[in-house]
Amino acid sequence: MSRFVIITTDTSFEQRVRAAVAGGLHGNVQRLPESTINGTPQDIVHQDPAEPPEVVILGPGVSTDEALKLATVLDLQFPEVSVILAADATPELVLTAMRSGIRDIVSPGTEASELRILLERACLSAAGRRRGLSNPTNPDYEAGRVIAVMSPKGGVGKTTVATNLATGLGKLTPMGVVIVDLDVQFGDVASALSLHPEHTLVDAVTGAAAHDAMVLKAFLTVHVSGIYALCAPLNPNEADLVTADHISHLIAQLATEFKYVVIDTAPGLGELALAALEQASDVVWVVGMDIPSIKGLRTGFSVLDELNLVPQGRHVVLNFASRHNGLNIQDIEATLRVPVDIVLPLSTSVPFATNKGVPMLQDGPRNAVSKNLRKLVDRFEPIRGTSLKKLHRRVVVS
């Protein structure tokens, strides 16, 4: 089965594509002659009618104009096929390519490891399109699960929990997870994941990306663990460019493209955090083992009850837990009037992982912290998540 078809004159790029597929993807790579770029989509798709390709890669070494023309017709006649363009991207080319139905643009010099991620993403997109085409009016379609990670105060490890949650979910659903940094002034998702984004939240909510989901995906940053990230603005002065309406629209866009949307909010209940809550199916509350943090969370619960902004799924994570600070879990649960779901013990391995920019669930030690972070991830596994939410509603004391 040739899931991947490539039209290129660059043998080095072809070899890297083949290495990417051999490194973890199923199926074969079929190279077609350069002249195919001037042909019709049928020349590509009907090479093997029994097993049509899922991903078509155009370039490098072929005419970009001809590649765009072919992609446009291919998208109209065979929308279930994902098309990737291998070329040096410019803002003008990105817009033209996405409007032509191209799934992604990749640099001709991209290494095999990154090519594998892009090809896997293209395969997932092709599978999603096939499902939609087979039953376009499916009433059982569900948008992605939106998980807001929140805390009443800063310094309780919220970003650490959010990035580990996203990384863990990425192992359940490769290329199906995106994490959004809504701390628009001092967001740390980029540093926590050791990312250097070319585009940020501001780019995603302004211009063409706000109106075209395919363009929006081009502004996401790919992490080595197989998740996507939309990082906070690099300049805090840009925070005012992002509004609550922007966030509501952005989350709705992402939920149509990803199975899980993890949102790392700023501390407190600001305007953007409330906009995220309106879209969220779940909230992970992170609280420290100190009285100000616990009281702050209790106050936050009361405010959200009054605003009727309490999502169905509520998950409380107690961070920095220790037996030596004068409090116990029973005291905390009595104050919050809700159960503590996950306990993360105080550990020196957490700041070490944070300083490395490598989440515990990506490449961390096997200890109590990583074990309990995996328990948090398990709460969102589709089958377990349903039973956990029902149990949670039964035991919560209002």
Read off the CATH number of the domain in which 24 is found: 3.40.50.2300
Q: Is residue 95 part of a domain?
A: yes
pLDDT of residue 131: 55
> What mean pLDDT comes out for the span 52-63?
91
Spatial contact of 109 and 64, defined as CB atoms under 8 Å apart = no
Please, which residues bridge with residue 343 across strands?
Answer: 318
Which residues, in sequence order, are CB contacts of 348 under 8 Å at separation 6+? none
Average pLDDT, the chain: 86
pLDDT of residue 389: 45
Spatial contact of 123 and 55, defined as CB atoms under 8 Å apart = yes
Inter-helix orientation angle 11-22/112-134, to 10°: 70
Spatial distance between the Cα atoms of 350 and 310, rounded to a whole number of angstroms: 30
Q: Is residue 298 part of a domain?
A: yes
Q: Which of 12-16, 121-125, 279-283, 321-325 has the lowest mean pLDDT?
A: 121-125
Residue range 348-386, pLDDT digits in tens: 999 998 899 999 998 777 899 999 999 999 999 865 544
pLDDT of residue 206: 85
CATH of the domain at 293: 3.40.50.300
Q: Which domain holds residue 8?
A: 2-132
Residue range 154-208, pLDDT digits in tens: 999 999 999 999 999 988 887 789 999 999 999 999 999 999 998 899 999 987 7
Q: Is residue 396 part of a domain?
A: no
Is 165 found in the same domain as 122?
Answer: no
If you write DSSP's letter for every residue of 220-282 in order, what string do you get?
SEEPTTS-EEEPPPSSGGGGGG--HHHHHHHHHHHHHH-SEEEEEPPSS--HHHHHHHHH-SE
Q: How many domains does the chain have?
A: 2
Is 366 found in the same domain as 259?
Answer: yes
- C-alpha 193, offset from chain centre: 13
Whether pTM > 0.85 for this model: the answer is no
Is 185 found in the same domain as 81?
Answer: no
